[in-house]
Amino acid sequence: MAKQNKRNIKKKNQRKNTERSKCVYICLSKTSTFPSKVIKMWTKEPYAHTSLAMDIELNEMYSFARKYLHNPFYCGLIKEDITTGVFGRDVDTECVIKRLWVTPNEHKRIVRILEKFWKEHNLYGYNYIGIFGVVFNRAVERRYNYFCSQFVYTVLDQAGVPLFGKKAGLVRPEDFRIWDEPEVVYEGKLNQYRKYLEEHYPKDAATGKYIEERGINQRTIEILGA
């Protein structure tokens, strides 16, 4: 009986670890900076920047971008804050927030990969050559150099998350925009996002955190007339 119980517990844990019950968030954005305008003009896409967040409020968000507000050329791995830096300055920043469901094991791996990246964040620089590689459809991948969409794809890919089968060095913000696996949580002004959450998303009384449920997104709320 004890052996049977252990087998049942093991099977239950295995099922739990294969269920997509955890979330990460992909934030696509377009600021009024010169590089963003150039990228938009070149790609004809609404968004020019990609970030990876570990929570719905975007409190823990990573990307490759400028390290200092007034220096667009000194770029690398940073933790982004939607209320400060470029996002805080450019109040008209447009964005789309997409929620990607992952398994508990994939989520753990994403956390570990980001921790490793951040531990060595001072070693990382921006993959400017890789940007030109994208123009000519040739992936240029260098160990300590990434551009934003390449970084987000790499983290998810290394964590074993099923993606859209492309070389990381060729991934653009557009690829994440048209990828239909993640749910669109919000689309609009970035500086209005947290206000939107407060008005439309319930919180857990015990933890004070927003309740994340599959299928609850901006479109659902609009249909329900909330």
Tens digit of each residue's pLDDT (9 = 90 or more) over 125-162: 999 999 889 988 999 999 999 999 999 999 999 999 99
Q: How far apart are CA 206 and CA 14, in angstroms?
A: 28
Question: What pLDDT is stored for residue 198 in this prediction?
Answer: 95
In 94-165, DSSP assigns E strands to: 94-102, 125-126, 145-146
In this prediction, residue 12 has a pLDDT band, given cuts at 50, 70 and 90, of very low
What pLDDT, on a 0 to 100 scale, did the predictor assign at position 92?
93
Superfamily of domain 20-190: endopeptidase domain like (from Nostoc punctiforme) (3.90.1720.10)
- Over 90: is that where the pLDDT of 176 sits? yes
User: Per-domain residue ranges for the chain?
Assistant: 20-190
pLDDT confidence of 44, banded at 50, 70, 90? confident
Q: Per-residue pLDDT for 52 more than 90?
A: yes
For the entire predicted model, the pTM comes to 0.87
- Residues 155/114, Cβ–Cβ less than 8 Å: yes
pLDDT for 66: 92
Picking from 53-67, 177-191, 209-223, which range would have the lowest pLDDT averaged per residue? 209-223
CA distances, 141 to each of 70, 166, 218 (Å): 27, 13, 36
The terminus-to-terminus CA distance of the chain in angstroms comes to 51
Which amino acid is located at 133 in the chain? G
* Percent of the chain topping pLDDT 90: 72
